[in-house]
Amino acid sequence: MSRRLQGRGAAPGAALAPAFIVRARTTATAVGRPAGSPQQERQRLDRALAEAHAQLLQLAERVAAEVGEDEAEIFEAHAEFAADPELGARAHAAIGGGASAEDAVAAGFGEFTELLAASASEYLAARADDLDDVRDRVVAILRGEQVGIEPPGEPSVIVAHELTPSQTASLPRELMAAVVTATGSPTSHAAILARSVGIPAVVGVEGLLDVVGDGQLVAIDGRSGEVLVAPDPSQRAAFERRLEEERVHRQRLDDLRDQPGQTADGHRVELAANVGSRDDLKAAIAAGAEGAGLVRTEFLFLDRGTAPTVDEQTAFYREVLDAFPGHRVVFRTLDVGADKPLPFVVRDPEPNPALGVRGVRLSLQRDPLFRDQLRALLRTGGIAGASSGRLAIMFPLVSTAAELIAAREVLEGVAREEAVDLTGVEVGVMVEVPSAALSADRIARHADFLSIGTNDLLQYLFAADRLVADVAELADVLDPDVLGLVASVIDAGHRHDAWVGVCGEAASDPATAAALTGLGIDELSMTRVAIPEVKQTLRDLTVQDCRMAANAALRADDAHSARAAVTRVLRTARPDA
Ligand code: PEP
Ligand code: MG
């Protein structure tokens, strides 16, 4: 008999294949092996930790080559756990108390795991699974057991209570039709890995292993989180139709890759990518990006003890420009300080970091750091070179026109020293502080462009911390009054011949993208994975449809009814979508 189960969609896509059940993994408790002498056990432990460290570094290298550098960092962090002196010292202490090396590993890791697992943050709780993964590897090495999973004989839906990142990475991609787990969250590393390689995944399916047997046919929908076990012939036929629709939809999105962002009647909206790591470079063009609307340069500065040199920065910025030949590339100057401190910028702690010295405020206080970055950007020569990208510079967290004028003066000074003509370089600001949105007319007089950062703008407008899930619902850019403010920023930019874009998360929501297009936005910059869907939505609508969507939202009573109104307009305009 067929059974329908519900979990959380963790990676999009659908699959229909036999189940391959991954049995509960090795756990480090109840070893049943008498401990040798403390000295022998310590030697065994140290050798196993060193072996785990080496294996994890190797795995990181393989994942970097096959998946990407961001994903490889998961295993670099695991390797650090295996070499962590604090964890090692705790395990040694347990051996001193008579434990075997295996039990000592459990004791050493256990306390840390409990702390993480008890965290209210879903993200930190998911890291407890990472620590368990490393622990189990060390124990498997101590026991001489195989680490990872014996792969299935045919492409299968991998079914497990939970799947560790190393188990996920150890299975050949072509044998994983999908992944379904009874526990886990969409932010677990196994889910992140599945998304990166395009494997559909559903997590948090209660009762999964009570229902699914090895080899049984399973259908999963990675968007809705639906899992169908042993579908009957009519359910199977319906699911096969859904698979076909998904395939046609993907194909349509792929076909749009080299098409420009525009409405059905040819109104242009540039669709650019946000870049936050090296991995984003190739992937952005592959996703059909028309340039980069936000390069978060701080990722080059974080996690290091000293600032990158001007030469290092120039080399990196050139690499970014080269990834977008013929397109505009907007480099945002350092957006650090407060909650993103740099070890080489020592400052007193602030009681309210989100309102402290961050973004352009910090740059204006730390002149050498700011000037070095501007010098490096100007030395890229990305000014008129058609074979690479076109350089644009953007200042973050600007609150007043005076800050923009001050930042421009520093830029002009550096340009004189470098003998660079700034006429080919666009200079703009992020509009992400409410005062900047209110002053958009004054600011636009000194800017070539304004890029609305909806993540911070909404955080400050609603007094809703962007990292706190409980207040996230308050902050919707389709709120009629917020949308009205956005419309006034767009108009202010256009009055002064400045183009206006949006580079916050809101740009990646197709309904919001349509409403923004109706308000006259010139550019939308978003996470690369969202580009195909947004492109397709806009290409299915006329500019008049988009205006109707914007007007419907502006007339609504609140964010909720605004979103419903926009959805209705879009559904009428695209009945087949
Ligand atoms: C924003 O605030 O909307 C933005 C795009 O910048 P970040 O998310 O990097 O703060
Ligand atoms: Mg911001």
- Ligand 1 binding pocket mutation candidate from 280, 360, 482, 503 (most atoms within 8 A of CB): 503
In 3D space, the residue among 386, 373, 379 whose CA is nearest the CA of residue 322 turns out to be 386
Strands 499-502 and 8-11: unpaired
| pLDDT of 123 | 64
Distance from the CA of 99 to the center of ligand 2, in angstroms? 50
Instruction: Tell me if 398 CB under 6 Å of ligand 1.
Output: no
Mean of pLDDT values over 380-409: 88
Does residue 41 have a pLDDT over 80? yes
Question: Could you report the per-residue pLDDT of 476-529, keeping only the tens digit for each?
Answer: 999 999 999 999 999 999 999 999 999 988 998 999 999 999 999 999 999 888
455-474 per-position pLDDT tens digit: 999 999 999 887 776 787 88
Distance, CA of 501 to chain centre: 20
**pLDDT classification of 385: cutoffs 50, 70, 90:** low
Residue 384 has pLDDT above 60, yes or no: no
pLDDT surpasses 60 at 30: no
If you average pLDDT over residues 366-381, what whole number do you get? 94
Higher pLDDT, 386 or 251: 251
pLDDT score at 492: 98
Q: How far is the CA of 313 from the centre of ligand 2 (A)?
A: 21
pLDDT (mean) for 202-208: 92
Confidence at 120, pLDDT banded by 50, 70, 90: low
Which DSSP string corresponds to 218-273? EEEETTTTEEEES--HHHHHHHHHHHHHHHHHHHHHHHTTTSPSB-TT--B-EEEE
Sign of CA dihedral 248, 251, 256, 261: positive
Model confidence band, residue 111 (pLDDT cutoffs 50, 70, 90): confident
Q: Convert the pLDDT of each residue in 233-288 to its tens digit.
A: 999 999 899 888 888 888 888 899 999 999 999 999 999 999 988 878 888 988 99
Secondary structure (3-state) at 374? helix
Query: Ligand 1 pocket check: which of 361, 395, 397, 456 to mutate, most ligand atoms within 8 Å of Cβ?
Result: 456
176-181 and 3-6 strand pairing? unpaired
Question: What is the average pLDDT across 100-126?
Answer: 77
Q: Answer whether 161's CB lies under 8 Å from 149's CB.
A: no
pLDDT one-digit tens code per residue, 314-365: 999 999 999 999 999 999 999 987 666 777 887 777 888 889 999 999 999 9
Percentages (nearest 5) of helix, strand, coil residues in the chain: 50, 15, 35
Return mean pLDDT, the chain. Answer: 89
Name the residue with higher pLDDT: 250 or 399: 399
Whether 400 shows a pLDDT value over 90: the answer reads: yes
Angle, helix 454-462 to helix 480-495, in steps of 10 degrees = 130
- 205: pLDDT strictly greater than 90: yes
Q: Which atom of ligand 1 is nearest to the CA of 296?
A: 9
Give the Å distances, CA to CA, from 203 to 19, 27, 191, 197, 224.
Answer: 15, 21, 8, 16, 11
Nearest CA to ligand 1 atom 5: 504
The pLDDT score that the predictor gives to residue 254 is 86
Ligand 1 pocket check for 294: Cβ under 6 Å: yes
Distance 119 CA to ligand 2 centre (A): 26
Percent of the chain with pLDDT over 70: 95
Q: What is the pLDDT of residues 517-557, one digit of tens each?
A: 999 999 999 988 889 999 999 999 999 999 999 999 999 99
Which long-range CB contacts under 8 A does 32-35 form with residues at least 24 apart? 33/100, 33/102, 34/100, 35/95, 35/98, 35/99, 35/100, 35/101, 35/103
Strands 226-229 and 217-221: antiparallel
pLDDT digits 0-9 by tens, 411-430: 999 999 999 999 989 999 99
Q: Say what the pLDDT of residue 34 is.
A: 61
Element of type H or E holding 563: helix 559-573
- Distance between CA atoms of residues 207 and 183, nearest Å: 10
Residue 76 CA to its chain's centroid (Å): 18
Ligand 1 within 6 A of 456 CB?
yes
Q: Whose CA is nearest to atom 8 of ligand 1?
A: 455
pLDDT confidence tier of residue 17, bands split at 50, 70 and 90: very high
For atom 3 of ligand 1, which residue has the closest CA? 453
Residue 26 has pLDDT above 70, yes or no: no
- Say which ligand is closest to the CA of 275: 1
Residues 6+ apart with CB under 8 A from 570: 510, 511, 514, 537, 541, 545, 549, 577
> What residue owns the CA closest to ligand 1's atom 1?
453
CA–centroid distance, residue 502 to ligand 2 (Å): 11
Cβ of 527 less than 6 Å from ligand 1 = no
Q: What is the DSSP string of 424-466?
A: GSEEEEEE-SHHHHHTHHHHHTT-SEEEE-HHHHHHHHHT--T
pLDDT of residue 481: 98
CA atoms of 548 and 35, how far apart (whole Å):
74
CB of 426 closer than 8 Å to CB of 393: yes
Report the share of the chain in percent with pLDDT over 90: 56
Query: How does residue 86 score in pLDDT terms, banded at 50, 70 and 90?
Result: confident
Element (H, E) at 177: strand 176-181
State how far the alpha carbon of 393 is from the alpha carbons of 5, 206, 375, 396, 430, in Å: 50, 49, 12, 10, 10
Ligand 1 close to Cβ of residue 455 (< 6 A): yes
Q: How close is the Cα of 440 to the center of ligand 1, in Å?
A: 18
To the query of whether residue 503 is one of the catalytic residues in this protein, the response is yes
Task: Flag the least confident range among 38-47, 260-269, 393-402, 544-553.
Answer: 38-47
Residue 16 has pLDDT above 90, yes or no: yes
432 in ligand 1 pocket by Cβ < 6 Å? yes
The per-residue pLDDT for 577 is 73
Task: Tell me the pLDDT band of 124, cut-offs 50, 70 and 90.
Answer: low
**Ligand 1: which of 299, 432, 482, 486 to mutate, most ligand atoms within 8 Å of CB?**
432
**Strand 523-526 vs strand 156-160: parallel, antiparallel, or unpaired?**
unpaired
Residues 551-564: what's their mean pLDDT? Answer: 97
Span 122-139, average pLDDT: 79
**pLDDT reported for residue 338:** 60
